Amino acid sequence: MPEKKTTIEHYIIPFPRDTSKRVTIIGAGIIGTSIARQLLLDNPDLEIILLEKEPELGYHQSGRNSGVLHSGINQKPGSLKARFAIEGNRLIREYSKKHGVKFEQCGTIVIARNKKEEKIIKTLYEWGNKAGVPELQLLNRRELLEYEPYAQGYMALRSPTGSIIDSEGLLKQVGKEAIKLGTKLIFATTVKGVQDGRILTNRGRFDPGFLINSAGLYADKIAHTMEIGKRYTIIPFRGDYYEVEGITVNSMIYQPPDLNFPFLGVHLTKGINGGVHAGPTATLSFGREEYNKGINIKESIEMVFTPNFWRMVMSKEFINLLKNNARTSFIPRVFLEQIKSITTQEVTLDDLKPFRSGIRAQVVDFTGKLVKEFLIKVEQNRINIINAVSPGFTSSFAFAKHISRIVNTRIK
Ligand SMILES: Cc1cc2nc3c(=O)[nH]c(=O)nc-3n(C[C@H](O)[C@H](O)[C@H](O)COP(=O)(O)OP(=O)(O)OC[C@H]3O[C@@H](n4cnc5c(N)ncnc54)[C@H](O)[C@@H]3O)c2cc1C
């Protein structure tokens, strides 16, 4: 009797036996698809296999975010986030113009309503200038009102390269181009891990060649099967948005961030397809993909038994995060107060319509700290992208160039 064919090769694509030019990427979010595209632009001889567990692109973070191309102002100079966000912002704007992806360079405004906030925006101004964010401006109240006639605040920081974008549209365009360049994008294929040099999926196993793990909310779990990044755990943090009816915003108006946290506070953003959006909140999610506020019992039990989780929960950082965010997340009246502190326009609870929700793949380390920097582990022919939180979307093209350089020094 012939041997039962169980490998992915046998019933999806007849992969060549020689794997010396093969790169397998796990996860077709904006990071994975941008890497696939960039690898083939830099080296068309590569065989790129991109595995995605969903039947389509954009089910998770890359299709459920604020749709903002950040300018890089909130990042510490010298960090990967600052470098990648500034370069990525420019690259994505150029790309979108060329490929007809909807975006608008409307600028980002961060307002100051008191002395403490003034100090924060001056820090952002200094960081931004040091990191190379283009054309930053400090605005007085009169100048602020010229850009945003209904903004609160007596001064503001304006970053003209901040833009809004159709994030799902960009992801789909990059996916299309990656396929055109030769990527084998395989949907409905869940990677379970890597064992004895083989990648295990729900549809069989095969030799991945060079492996890149960009699985977003599950990147830690896949890395752990390779004994990599075991000090890190992804804790899902949900973010909810409301559409705010009856108000006008010309660009994006942010409250100054707490520089100790990786999440930005509630802000008002002009939607790329019209409307004004407020959010996102930041609160724990009891499941990595529980967008409708459900509870994934298995994942919740796993999460609460993780030492990193407990260390995080006991930390001053988390208690402050909870203090600042829990009420905003759960009580619409408190959310409304946040909006009123940004705009002078009349807004009532009736004007708030639930819009979308996203869940951030936030990494927590073994001391319980929320990891703010991008986290990339490179070991031999394996790259694990464990923390690619915001501004991960903005940074994706620069991220992809960085990863491609590493791969191309290792695949001759
Ligand atoms: C609420 C929110 C707002 C944000 N706002 C912004 C913003 O305005 N600007 C910005 O720059 N960034 C923003 N971000 C961050 C940005 O969305 C992310 O940094 C970026 O999308 C990460 O991309 P990714 O490819 O790593 O992850 P994802 O988009 O989550 O992609 C990972 C992919 O891997 C797949 N996958 C997972 N596990 C497996 C498996 N086992 N096998 C196969 N496939 C698997 C998933 O299905 C998914 O498609 C925001 C994020 C959130 C949640």
For residues 283 and 199, membership in a common domain is answered with: no
- Which of 390, 394, 399 maximizes ligand 1 atoms within 8 Å of its Cβ, making it the mutation to test the pocket? 390
Question: What is the rounded CA–CA span in Å between residue 325 and residue 339?
Answer: 14
Q: In three state form, how does the secondary structure of 250-306 look?
A: CCEEECCCCCCCCCCCCEEEECCCCCEEEECCCEECCCCCCCCCCCCHHHHHHHHCC
Closest ligand 1 atom, residue 239 Cα: 1
What is the domain count for the chain?
2
**Long-range contacts, 98-103 (Cβ 8 Å, 24+):** 99/173, 99/177, 100/173, 101/165, 101/166, 101/169, 101/170, 101/173, 102/165, 102/166, 102/169, 102/272, 102/273, 103/69, 103/163, 103/164, 103/165, 103/166, 103/170, 103/272
pLDDT at 7: 62
Considering the domain boundaries, does residue 398 fall inside one? Answer: yes
**Shared-domain flag, residues 111 and 258:** yes
Q: What is the pTM of this model?
A: 0.96
Q: Find the catalytic residue in 10, 60, 70, 99.
A: 70
Confirm whether 94 is domain-assigned.
no
Note the pLDDT of residue 6. Answer: 55
- Whether 360 is in the pocket of ligand 1, judged by its Cβ within 6 Å, is yes
Q: Which domain holds residue 152?
A: 106-163+235-362
User: Are 240 and 120 found together in one domain?
Assistant: yes
- Asked if residue 7 is part of any domain, the answer here is no
Is 276 part of a structural domain of the chain? yes
Please give the Cα distance from 146 to 412 (Å, whole number). Answer: 55
In a domain, 69, yes or no: no
Question: Are residues 345 and 382 located together in one domain of the fold?
Answer: no
> Looking at the structure, do residues 343 and 354 belong to the same domain, yes or no?
yes
- Dist. CA 350 → ligand 1 center (Å): 31
- Alpha-carbon torsion, ordered 309, 315, 318, 319, to 10 deg: 130
CATH of the domain at 274: 3.30.9.10
Q: What is the pLDDT along the chain (412 residues), one digit of tens a residue?
A: 444 555 666 656 667 778 899 999 999 999 999 999 999 999 999 999 999 999 999 999 999 999 999 999 999 999 999 999 999 999 999 999 999 999 999 999 999 999 999 999 999 999 999 999 999 999 999 999 999 999 999 999 999 999 999 999 999 999 999 999 999 999 999 999 999 999 999 999 999 999 999 999 999 999 999 999 999 999 999 999 999 999 999 999 999 998 878 888 899 999 999 999 999 999 999 999 999 999 999 999 999 999 999 999 999 888 888 877 878 888 889 999 999 999 999 999 999 999 989 999 999 999 999 999 999 999 999 999 999 999 999 999 999 999 999 999 998 7
Q: Is residue 175 part of a domain?
A: yes
Q: What pLDDT, on the 0 to 100 scale, is given for residue 8? A: 64
